[in-house]
Structure 1
Amino acid sequence: MKTTLNSGERADWALPVVDAIVVGASAGGVEALLNVFASIKPGFRLPILTVLHVPEERRSQLAQVFAARLPIRVKEADDKEDIAPGTLYFAAPGYHLSVEADRSLSLSQEDRVYHSRPSIDILFSSAADAFGARLAGILLTGANNDGASGLAYIKDCGGLTVVQDPNQAQARTMPEAALALHSPDYLLPLNDISQLLVELERIAC
């Protein structure tokens, strides 16, 4: 596990070529995601699939909020939609978001996972099945254990795993749960995760 990273080391990042990025967050997640996605520039070509725990009883404004701030396409995921490059997808409230074997998206209303629907674990695990080693998984701040087992499964499938440093997370339960299950490839503060996204896109494209 690489626990520190500074600008002088960035040329030495041992990063694989990936086809997609999955991100999970809960408590404190909006601010964390805005920080992580701040480095995205026009022309960014990797798809990013994101689960952020939000209340089920009201319509999410996440896509609109992030679309106003980012220079790439941002949308709420639709059932049976093919994953498109250069698009940031958010899971809809009240629906689990999965990736099918043909790399299309699927929405379902199965039981909650850690009291959450959408579930980070379900997104991460299904994406790992679809993309295998060509997937990067990022787990950020949160107040429950959702995402920990899914991130470990990404690692088992040969994918890249990244965990926000719990000492810098608004809610440290989620990153600490991930660290209890496996040693991620990178344990980083948000600003370095943001720069890692840039490097993943550069290598892939």
Structure 2
Amino acid sequence: MKKINLNNSYKAVVIGGSAGSFQGVVKILSQLPKGFPLPIIMALHRLKHVRNGFVEALSIKSVVQVTEPNDKEAIKKGSVYLAPANYHMSVELGNNFALSTEEMVNNSRPAIDITLSSCAFVYKEKLLGILLSGANKDGAIGMKHIHERGGTTIVQEPSECMIDTMPKAALAVTQIDHVLRIDEIVEVLKELDKQYR
């Protein structure tokens, strides 16, 4: 894998994904170094009427327990958060979550764009944004906002995706710093972890 320059001042990692992203997310979470120092904030498209099972399935494989945050919950280092089913999830100044049931965006709630864009606004250049496999364009504008605010952007290699619409949409609208396979994304997070030790 080519050398990727990372700074040691990141405050958060945000991950978006839809159709075909579940296995990639499981692989990332299962190979995280123990004690990974940053919060990982995830917005994944999911069936709105299925409330149970998804978090549990991720937590079984994850090194860190995956939780669905409550509205106004403080964001803690080393935690993994998943947008609850049928809620938009934003990050607010002051480093806490905001949940809402406003209209769907990109036919989705949670909308990846909302989570990514709010993270970009709060964390600016101290954000690492990752967009995985998916069947629509949700997340592309969020990645654009991350880039514009100085954050680092990564999309999953389209040829590896089950459905490549989402990463290709991001590549079409903004500069993406790195196009990587899941195994390479895992290595980036491991390298990032080393810089905080």
Q: TM-score, normalised by structure 1?
A: 0.92
What is the aligned length?
Answer: 196
Residue 149 of structure 2, aligned match among 157, 162, 165: 157
Q: Which amino acid aligns with 1:154?
A: I
The question of whether the paired residues in 1 share the 8 Å contact of 2:140 and 2:166 is answered with yes
2:14 is the alignment partner of 1:29: no
Residue 70 of structure 1 and its aligned partner are, at CA, apart by 1.8
SS in structure 2 of the partner of residue 68 of structure 1: helix
How far, CA to CA, are the matches of 1:61 and 1:127 in structure 2? Answer: 26
Q: Which amino acid aligns with 1:52?
A: L
Which consecutive residues of structure 1, in runs of 5 or more, have no partner in the other structure?
1-5
2:115 is the alignment partner of 1:123: yes
The question of whether the paired residues in 2 share the 8 Å contact of 1:20 and 1:46 is answered with yes
C-alpha RMSD over aligned residues: 1.2
SS in structure 1 of the partner of residue 61 of structure 2: coil
2:103 is the alignment partner of 1:111: yes
SS in structure 2 of the partner of residue 192 of structure 1: helix
2:100 is the alignment partner of 1:135: no
Residue 181 of structure 1 and its aligned partner are, at CA, apart by 0.8
2:166 is the alignment partner of 1:177: no
Residue 77 of structure 1 and its aligned partner are, at CA, apart by 1.7
Q: Which amino acid aligns with 1:63?
A: V
SS in structure 1 of the partner of residue 104 of structure 2: coil
SS in structure 2 of the partner of residue 187 of structure 1: strand
Residue 124 of structure 1 and its aligned partner are, at CA, apart by 0.4
The question of whether the paired residues in 2 share the 8 Å contact of 1:21 and 1:48 is answered with yes
CA 1:83–1:147 in 2, change beyond 3 Å: closer, same or farther?
same
How far, CA to CA, are the matches of 2:90 and 2:96 in structure 1? Answer: 8
How far, CA to CA, are the matches of 1:197 and 1:164 in structure 2? Answer: 14
* Superposed CA offset, 1:31-67 (max 9, x none): 1111222321221121000011011112042221122
How far, CA to CA, are the matches of 1:157 and 1:43 in structure 2? Answer: 28
2:108 is the alignment partner of 1:84: no
Q: Which amino acid aligns with 1:92?
A: P
Percent of aligned pairs with the same residue? 38
CA 1:80–1:143 in 2, change beyond 3 Å: closer, same or farther?
same
Q: TM-score, normalised by structure 2?
A: 0.95
